């Protein structure tokens, strides 16, 4: 119970920092919305995606980019706490040590959901429509939440090990670029051979395709299970590496 109580208190602390600086969430949502505007109104007319409107096809990939952009702030906040001596201060107090990391992770999850909601509202204003029911929307929220947890734990690693602010947040750049080599923006069958093979066998394509199918009101197929397997694998590996980095960091500060 102590760990849960400490996590709740520390999460409240992190959330208060965000509410005092709401530009973090606004900035996180601005880039995905800019991508929406660019691809829908500038490039969308040149991309053939079948019967669906392009914004309907595009939105799942933009949501993945939103998550990647959002979790970079976790690495930044962790790094700043370390530089400011906050971790050492907490370690000198009767605070459950896992709670320190979990507070950052849960803050990232809640802040990312807000950013995702802002992006979805922008897409609705631009003409996005979905025939999905409440169950499908909850499934989408669940998949995106699990992906956020996985990538947030991945962000914890550079947050604990980086030697500069730029190094702490730069890890997110490959995550933001990965959707561009997937089915997020164009169908993979339009890509040349090696690029197509990579696009069809990387996690973003499975995640985007499963979210796209759910938002279209389709029955969940094999893509959903592939997506969940990818997310679970990333989460397990990221969590293990993050905890290893945390233990190493604690050992250095003793």
Question: Per residue in 94-123, pLDDT tens?
Answer: 566 677 788 888 888 988 998 999 999 999
pLDDT tens digits for range 44-72: 666 766 657 888 889 999 999 999 988 88
Confidence of residue 9 (pLDDT cuts 50, 70, 90): confident
What's the whole-number average pLDDT of the chain?
Answer: 83
Answer yes or no: pTM beyond 0.85: yes
pLDDT at 245: 87
Which of 58-62, 78-82, 145-149 bottoms out in mean pLDDT, i.e. has the lowest? 78-82
pLDDT at 90: 63
pLDDT at 131: 81
pLDDT tens digits for range 21-35: 666 666 777 888 998
Q: What is the domain range of residue 201? A: 2-253
Instruction: Say if residue 231's pLDDT is above 90.
Output: yes
Q: How many domains are contained in the chain?
A: 1
Residues in the chain: 254
Q: Which residues contact 232 (CB under 8 A, 6 or more apart)?
A: 146
Q: How many CB atoms lie within 10 A of CB 180?
A: 14
SS (H, E, C) the chain: CHHHHHHHHHHHHHHHHHHHCCHHHHHHHHHHHHHHHHHHHHHHHHCCCCCCCHHHHHHHHHHHHHHHHHHHHHHHHHHHHHHCCHHHHHHCCCCCHHHHHHHHHHHHHHHHHHHHHHHHHHHHHCCCCCCCCHHHHHHHHHHHHHHHHHHHHHHHHHHHHCCCHHHHHHCHHHHHHHHHHCCCCCCHHHCCHHHHHHHHCCHHHHHHHHHHHHHCCCCCCHHHHHHHHHHHHHHHHHHHHHHHHHHHHHHHHC
């Amino acid at each position: 119970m102590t760990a849960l109580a400490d996590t709740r208190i520390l999460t409240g602390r992190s959330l208060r920092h965000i509410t005092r600086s709401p530009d973090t969430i606004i900035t996180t949502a601005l880039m995905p919305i800019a991508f929406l505007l660019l691809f829908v109104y500038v490039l969308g007319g040149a991309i053939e995606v079948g019967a669906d409107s392009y914004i309907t096809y595009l939105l799942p990939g933009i949501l993945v980019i939103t998550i990647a952009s959002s979790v970079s702030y976790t690495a930044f906040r962790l790094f700043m706490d370390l530089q400011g001596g906050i971790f050492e201060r907490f370690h000198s107090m009767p605070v459950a040590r896992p709670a320190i990391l979990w507070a950052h992770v849960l803050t990232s999850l809640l802040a990312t959901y807000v950013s995702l909601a802002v992006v979805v509202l922008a897409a609705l204003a631009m003409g996005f429509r979905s025939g999905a029911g409440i169950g499908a929307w909850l499934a989408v929220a669940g998949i995106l939440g699990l992906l956020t947890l996985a990538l947030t734990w991945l962000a914890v690693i550079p947050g604990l090990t980086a030697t500069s602010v730029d190094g702490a947040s730069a890890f997110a750049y490959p995550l933001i670029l990965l959707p561009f080599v997937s089915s997020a923006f164009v169908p993979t069958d339009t890509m040349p051979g090696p690029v197509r093979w990579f696009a069809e066998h990387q996690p973003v394509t499975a995640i985007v395709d499963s979210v796209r199918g759910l938002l279209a009101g389709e029955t969940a197929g094999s893509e959903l299970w592939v997506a969940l397997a990818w997310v679970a694998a990333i989460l397990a590996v990221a969590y293990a590496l993050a905890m290893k980095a945390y233990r190493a960091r604690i050992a250095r500060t003793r």
